[in-house]
Structure 1
Amino acid sequence: MTTTHPVRPGEWFESGMGLDDIDAGQFRMTISTDRYTDPDYVQRERDNIWLRVWQVAGREAELPAVGDWKEYRLLDQSFLLVRGKDRTIRGFVNACRHRGNVLCNGKGNAKRGLLCQYHLWSYDLEGKLKGVLRQEENEVTALDKDGLGLLPVSVECFAGFIFLNPDPDAAPLADFLGAEVMELLSPYHLEEMVTVLDVREALNCNWKVVMDAFEEGYHISGIHPELLQVVMIDPSTTRYRFFDKHSVSCAPFEVAGKKYGLEEQVEGIMGLPETFPSVTAVLPRFQELVAENRDESGTLSLPEGATPRTLLQRATRETLTGMGFDVSALTDAQMSDNHGWVLFPNFFMTVRAGEATVILAQPHESGDPNRCYWHIISVMWLPDEYKDALKADRIDVTEPGGYKYFLALQQDYEQMPRQQRGLRNRRLDSMSLVKEEVVIAHYHSVVDRYLAGTS
């Protein structure tokens, strides 16, 4: 009797579209530059995108205790996220219903409720108005209080992230993400991962320059030459999947397999922690597997079908499983291959078994199209005994260049403002994409739909 192996969501890659399968003509491959530089676009995006879409406002773990709250700012808007007594995270407009004073700045805890420091009106953690200073003298009745609770904002959680939508008529988050997206992401168990890097910084570029930069690997040869020593770039092996608003793509992780021999490939994997720090935990088991395949003279030979890549995959699965992390619903390829996710409008994530790095891009509150924020959140699965030691607190960088990112991110950090300077040239009215940048083309097609009011 044979047992049929259940289909794993990650197996989409095997039947995913390659570059040759994609009709680039379905998207505009010429992108106007005014969307990066024109102040009018900032206002259009504010009204048609940012105030209408679900967006990540943080991690659930940022609000672990009842009464924990944090402020989420978006351009000229301010929202309040708070964990209630029922453990639910709720969202509100961050303004007292009396005279509009901001209730909370930054983050903190208000287990007994929220208090406006201006005239001491107080609210419970569900947003209901509890107390009014000298209520009887001011003739504020219980009925009045019922209608003066904090204005609610749609908030839902998925994969350990807090999503917020400023639109009071927002459809559920599940409708926005789509069932397929949620199914494909669920096996990673992102909700179990710990934040090990959390950095936010203002950049001198448009927020879409940040999104574009991470939606293609075409720039690796120019911006990340160090990666070429260990990673083989072969566009023909990349696979894509497009959804209504979102997308995922993946280039199989090959350590220069077609160019170098076994020893060089092993050496390349051993050097990966310089760019992918989380690989460090897997290397001891990887070295053991390599040693098992050396003969008495030290010569390395692998069985048919085995490569240093498959040894890395095995080492990753065994290491994570041994530490207590469930990777059973992930494919072998997901042990080594980063899948690049774009969730509209401003979420990019590379994810593989046990780790993910998220880049969030957001327009600057000044309204200057040449400025934005990027927010880097790296998460990793860790055994309980390491969580407190490796958990990272939020860093808000105020001095340009004051934070040193790991190599690949630092190179992107330095590149993006250079692109913005070029985009500001008045005679340059458009960008011309190549087929390898089809994810960018799809992304901007969604931008276009929102700006046109058709999404």
Structure 2
Amino acid sequence: MTIEATRPTRPTRPGEWLDDPATGLSGLRSAPADFQWKIPTERYTSPEIALQERKLVWEKTWQVVGRADELAKAGDWKTYQLFDQSFIVVRGRDDVIRGFVNACRHRGNLLCAERSGTSRQFLCQYHLWSYDLEGNCRGILRENLAGVDRADVSLLPVPVETFGGFIFLNPDPEAKPLAEYLGPEVVELLQPYKMDQFITVMDVEEPLECNWKVVMDAFGEGYHIWGVHPQLLNVIFPDPETGRYRFLGDHSVATTPFDVPRGAQFGPEEQVAGIRKLPETFPAIPLMLPRFEELVAEYRGTGDILVFPDGVTARTLLQRATRDTLTGMGLDVSELTDNQMTDNQGWVLFPNFFMTVRAGECHIVVPSPHPSGDPNRCIWHVASYMYLPAELAEVAKVEPTVVKEPGSHTYFEALQQDYEQMQRQQAGLRNSRLEFETITREEMVVAAFHHVLDRYLGGAAS
């Protein structure tokens, strides 16, 4: 089932929550008092806590397992591994995407041993029992002698739904619907980006030497930019007084203006130079630069000196360039605000989906527990998606990369910096005398995430 937003009739756009003091928390003073500001380090290293998480979090929550366009036609399937549990996700002949336990109902043999494929049916290689794409048992070897009713041995279903072009799976057969799990505000706020029409321009999976929550924590705050990504300070200046936070049940969204304070060290030329460096981190920016340069040129005067009047910055020009470019390509960004043209909104969908999204592109980081259950390791999936017209989409789309040898893949600059830093952090967290982390008010989303995790580990999650 695909989720659609049910939006009330109103004159404002969903993205305008940023300008509404009733909906967007801001500044250091807005941090809820009951958030946890000291995180026990054993949460990242303890096998016992990892086992608790398996039972109380991973076996009970909706998890992103891929993109709907990976299963473009009937019979396309992929597998999803969660610890030692294996699932199949397949597009049926009726165009519905379904999920099943990856095991034959006869003697439990894996039906799909590869990561993905296309089949007219699922055939068990052990005793040749077969199943259709909807999970019904269609063939039993020497059925007249088997003494088995086909209707009793259909594949075991697991809940699968789609939203924003992403496929979500929940291992719990009694799971509440995805729309209820996300909540109406999450659906409404994300719908205008039209992510279901985005195509994949980067897709990498690799084992990491760190706990999955180290990854979630790293991407939930901008406090580390000064130490890890100083090159981004030309265009991103995380300021907890100007940033905005919104907590939506188990989930959250945060954003900070895609801009730097104006001053002697960041005049018009420096602002423009910062924008020109963005293609190293954001793949959609090159599309916007030609129009951006046209707009910048309008403000060059005698001697080629660049002067911005009040109300004009490199950020506002990039906003205009982004809207002009995407609209000129026939893409619909009419429901997005000017801020959404430039400012990345960082979404955390519990338990392990982090996404930054702005007009025309989004980037996801999805860390999962290592199949071995070792709390000091995880598997991360990082991917980028762009909103492109059909003729460009075909050229830009890429196939998944699975990194076999750790460290052999080079990510774009900022992501490579995070990749290296997170594994250093895990090494430090394993020191036995370090009993807890101290979370600052600038890491409000990290505190919120652990607040939700506390409820799940306490068995009180909704």
Instruction: Give the TM-score of the pair, scaled to structure 2.
Output: 0.95
- Post-superposition Cα deviations, 1:366-422, rounded to whole Å, max 9, x if no partner, equal 111000011001100111112222111111101011110000000000011111111
Q: Which residue in the other structure is 1:252 paired with?
A: 257
Q: Which one of 353, 375, 380 corresponds to residue 347 of structure 1?
A: 353
1:138 aligns with 2:146: yes
Deviation at residue 139 of structure 1 after TM alignment: 3.1
DSSP-derived class of the 1:236 partner:
coil
Q: Which residue in the other structure is 1:127 paired with?
A: 135
Q: Which residue in the other structure is 1:170 paired with?
A: 175
Q: Which residue in the other structure is 2:279 paired with?
A: 273
Q: Which one of 4, 8, 13 corresponds to residue 18 of structure 2?
A: 13
1:149 aligns with 2:154: yes
**Residue pair 1:199, 1:396 contacting (<8 A) in 2 also:** yes
Q: In structure 2, how many angstroms separate the alpha carbons of the residues matched to 1:217 and 1:119?
A: 54
Q: Which residue in the other structure is 1:181 paired with?
A: 186
DSSP-derived class of the 2:100 partner:
strand
Q: Which residue in the other structure is 2:79 paired with?
A: 71
Q: In structure 2, how many angstroms separate the alpha carbons of the residues matched to 1:311 and 1:372?
A: 41
**Residue pair 1:56, 1:161 contacting (<8 A) in 2 also:** yes
Q: Which residue in the other structure is 1:299 paired with?
A: 305
1:289 aligns with 2:298: no
Letter of the 1:44 partner, please give it: Q
Q: Which residue in the other structure is 1:197 paired with?
A: 202
Letter of the 2:250 partner, please give it: K
**Residue pair 1:188, 1:354 contacting (<8 A) in 2 also:** yes
DSSP-derived class of the 1:297 partner:
helix
Q: Which one of 420, 423, 431 corresponds to residue 425 of structure 1?
A: 431
Q: Which residue in the other structure is 1:115 paired with?
A: 123
Q: Which residue in the other structure is 1:313 paired with?
A: 319
> Closer, same or farther in 2 for the Cα pair 1:359/1:313, shift >3 Å?
same
Letter of the 2:418 partner, please give it: D
Q: Which residue in the other structure is 2:165 paired with?
A: 160
1:445 aligns with 2:454: no
Q: In structure 1, how many angstroms separate the alpha carbons of the residues matched to 2:261 and 2:286?
A: 20
Deviation at residue 24 of structure 1 after TM alignment: 4.2
Deviation at residue 22 of structure 1 after TM alignment: 1.4
Aligned residues: 448
Large movers: runs of 4+ above 6 Å? none
**Residue pair 1:283, 1:315 contacting (<8 A) in 2 also:** yes
**Residue pair 1:199, 1:377 contacting (<8 A) in 2 also:** yes
RMSD: 1.4
Deviation at residue 292 of structure 1 after TM alignment: 1.8
Q: Which one of 98, 102, 106 corresponds to residue 98 of structure 1?
A: 106
**Residue pair 2:31, 2:444 contacting (<8 A) in 1 also:** no
Q: In structure 2, how many angstroms separate the alpha carbons of the residues matched to 1:432 and 1:103?
A: 47
DSSP-derived class of the 1:316 partner:
helix
Q: Which one of 431, 442, 453 corresponds to residue 436 of structure 1?
A: 442
Q: Which residue in the other structure is 1:358 paired with?
A: 364
Deviation at residue 196 of structure 1 after TM alignment: 0.5
**Residue pair 2:236, 2:257 contacting (<8 A) in 1 also:** no
Q: In structure 1, how many angstroms separate the alpha carbons of the residues matched to 2:382 and 2:183?
A: 24
- Post-superposition Cα deviations, 1:69-94, rounded to whole Å, max 9, x if no partner, equal 11000011000001001101000000
Deviation at residue 21 of structure 1 after TM alignment: 4.0
**Residue pair 2:355, 2:363 contacting (<8 A) in 1 also:** yes
> Closer, same or farther in 2 for the Cα pair 1:397/1:281, shift >3 Å?
same
Q: Which one of 392, 397, 400 corresponds to residue 394 of structure 1?
A: 400
**Residue pair 1:229, 1:256 contacting (<8 A) in 2 also:** no
DSSP-derived class of the 1:26 partner:
coil
Q: In structure 1, how many angstroms separate the alpha carbons of the residues matched to 2:32 and 2:11?
A: 33
- Post-superposition Cα deviations, 1:8-36, rounded to whole Å, max 9, x if no partner, equal 11111112111244144221100111110
> Closer, same or farther in 2 for the Cα pair 1:66/1:366, shift >3 Å?
same
Deviation at residue 256 of structure 1 after TM alignment: 5.0
Q: In structure 2, how many angstroms separate the alpha carbons of the residues matched to 1:427 and 1:292?
A: 60
Q: In structure 2, how many angstroms separate the alpha carbons of the residues matched to 1:225 and 1:362?
A: 28
DSSP-derived class of the 1:85 partner:
coil
Q: In structure 2, how many angstroms separate the alpha carbons of the residues matched to 1:324 and 1:40?
A: 53
Q: In structure 2, how many angstroms separate the alpha carbons of the residues matched to 1:256 and 1:268?
A: 13
DSSP-derived class of the 2:241 partner:
helix
Please, which runs of 5 or more residues in structure 2 have no aligned partner? 1-8
Deviation at residue 233 of structure 1 after TM alignment: 3.5
DSSP-derived class of the 2:44 partner:
helix
Matches within 5 A, 1:324-343: 324-343=330-349
DSSP-derived class of the 2:185 partner:
helix
Structure 1 range deviating more: 279-288 or 295-304 = 295-304
Q: Which residue in the other structure is 1:375 paired with?
A: 381
Q: In structure 1, how many angstroms separate the alpha carbons of the residues matched to 2:106 and 2:67?
A: 30
Letter of the 2:368 partner, please give it: Q
Deviation at residue 5 of structure 1 after TM alignment: 8.7
Q: In structure 2, how many angstroms separate the alpha carbons of the residues matched to 1:254 and 1:179?
A: 30
Deviation at residue 296 of structure 1 after TM alignment: 4.7
Please, which runs of 5 or more residues in structure 1 have no aligned partner? none
- Post-superposition Cα deviations, 1:114-170, rounded to whole Å, max 9, x if no partner, equal 111111000011100000011112233xxx110110000000000000000010100
Q: In structure 2, how many angstroms separate the alpha carbons of the residues matched to 1:256 and 1:21?
A: 21
